[in-house]
Amino acid sequence: MCSILAAFDLRPAADLRPLRPSALAMSAQQRHRGPDWSGVYAERHALLVHERLAIVDPVGGAQPIVSRDSSVVLAVNGEIYNHRELRAEMHDYPFATGSDCEPISALYASGDDIGAWLDRLNGIFAFALWDAVRERFVIARDPVGVCPLYWGHDADGRVWGASEMKAIARTCRDVAPFPPGHWYDSATGRIARYHERDWRDYDATHGLAVDAQTLRDALERAVQRQMMSDVPYGVLLSGGLDSSLVAAIAARHARLRIEDDERSEAWWPRLHSFAIGLDGSPDLAAAQLAADAIGTVHHGFTYTVEEGIDALPEVIRHVETYDVTTIRASTPMFLLARRIRAMGIKMVLSGEGSDEIFGGYLYFHKAPDAREFHEETVRKLEGLHQYDCLRANKSMMAWGVEARVPFLDTEFLDVAMRMDASAKMAGGGRIEKAILREAFEGWLPESILWRQKEQFSDGVGYGWIDSLKAHASREVADSALATAGQRFVVNPPQTKEAYLYRSHFERWFPGDACARTVPGGRSIACSTPAAIAWDAAFAAAADPSGRAVAGVHAASNVPQTGVAHAAEATRVTPA
């Protein structure tokens, strides 16, 4: 994964080439995403800058990728997991590199409908493509929005795009996130959705069953696909269900090379796993237990509350949000990423997305029926690019580590989201995500497989959230919070912790447009409209921590003396 910066101006008299030094300086603000190499393409109507993190074809995959006839120029942030299949179909195209991203250029050159071939890409991506012959540009983003992408216009009407908001925020007064699953075509001047799925409508899923074998095989294929790498990689392992399943699957395939269909030994056969927490955190204990069972080379790191608080301004600068839950969880992830990169790892597999697909957040226990349960999972998936995807991508990429998310693989999504949500529902003695746990019986220790959901910011140690609140209480005066609506017109903060984060955000990202890129300023993990409708008590829950879900989360009162005790106390017998 990398970063892109693009500028386009199709006016006849335009000439972007004098902006090259400015564009390089703007792109340098996101060079942490691609510390391995910088590439530039500049002509009168198009300017593309690429900062590269070399993971696939590290020798020959430099960008922007210019076609052999110089007609198509491509800058991509992302990975295309089915690139070998696409290359095999387009054997007549004169590929210039071994990059997994170049099939995008080949598909465009084929002349087929852009929306149709975009939907064929299995991967995470945000790209800008320039057609030098037609003087046309295309911008697109992956279906879920795993890869960040922002765009806007400068005072002269030029279109700018960048992987991170910081690169163009001071140039574009109307900076905004580019919507996932969409593409923009300068030839029509329209933005359109290319990723449409029938499973967005509950009626299309009603009565459809997915058996355990099908679900298990689909996730295993997704993890295997995303192990594609020519550099050392690892897995994030919090000790929760989702990261532990991803790690367990990866461990089964780590000894053989994915890039040649497991016909040869892997270049780095030992799988390394990584966790972080405060001293004595439940996640560290659970992660070690899972790692011992899976057989990874495990690295459990600790951090102190002081180290986390010291990092807050930089965390907010990198993740580009003031959402409370996102910042709480991003901070330990940001600290972990630095340790991971120091060990020479450039890519990790992570467990994001499972809770959105299977209703893993604890308030899903309150869902009244399958239809509302399903509609909430769809809504959460559609907003994921502003929360967990943003956190995982930007906190890791702050140190040049790419996070891949197999649960959000498009093929796995089509399997898991087409099942009737009645099979996913929790409550009445049935633990959240029971169908996923049942599909992987025997893959993990029982205390991990049936461990109840923890918010990541809770699992790193319950003292973390409490310490953040205490720090904010000391830093923010009562009078400042009382007049927050006057200082922050867009999404005024409701707590001192939220006020503190918003103040840091404003330093880096002034203006209402930047503020509007954060929807509501709080997490979708709790107190959502659906949650409030299911249980009016959520309306008064100003704290989005998982512990706030009264009557569901059982771990907050469990002594942190080891995962075995915690697992027994929080396990709910599956139906």
| Tally: H helices and E strands in the chain | 24, 17
Tell me whether residue 2 is one of the annotated catalytic residues: yes
| The pLDDT of residue 554 is above 90 | no
Residue 147: HSE in the Cβ half-sphere, 13 Å Cα cutoff:
29
Closest Cα to residue 254, out of 265, 243, 263, 245? 265
The per-residue pLDDT for range 34-93, each reduced to its tens digit, is: 999 999 999 999 999 999 998 888 887 789 999 999 999 999 999 999 999 999 999 899
Give the residue ranges of the annotated binding site for ATP: 236, 276, 350-351
Going from the C-alpha of 201 to that of each of 180, 205, 306, 373, 436, the distances in angstroms are: 18, 7, 46, 12, 22
Report residue 314 as tokens.
Answer: 């930089």
Question: What pLDDT is attached to residue 57?
Answer: 81
Residue 547: pLDDT band with limits 50, 70, 90: low
Q: Considering the entire predicted model, what is its pTM?
A: 0.92
Question: What pLDDT is attached to residue 529?
Answer: 78
Question: What is the average per-residue pLDDT within 275-293?
Answer: 95
DSSP states along 318-379: HHT---HHHHHHHHHHHHHHHHHHHTT--EEE--TTHHHHHT-SGGGGG--SHHHHHHHHHH
| The pLDDT of residue 306 is above 60 | yes
Question: What is the average per-residue pLDDT within 230-246?
Answer: 95
Question: What is the average per-residue pLDDT within 337-360?
Answer: 97
Question: What pLDDT is attached to residue 521?
Answer: 52
| The pLDDT of residue 230 is above 80 | yes
Which of 2, 147, 172, 389 is the catalytic position? Answer: 2
Residue 524: pLDDT band with limits 50, 70, 90: very low
| The pLDDT of residue 13 is above 90 | yes
Alpha carbon distance 211, 425 (integer Å): 15
Question: What pLDDT is attached to residue 552?
Answer: 61
Domains of the chain, earliest start first: 3-196 (3.60.20.10), 200-570 (3.40.50.620)
Element (H, E) at 73: strand 72-80
**SS3 at position 382:** helix
The per-residue pLDDT for range 107-151, each reduced to its tens digit, is: 999 988 999 999 999 999 999 999 999 999 999 999 999 999 999
Give the residue ranges of the annotated binding site: 100, 236, 276, 350-351
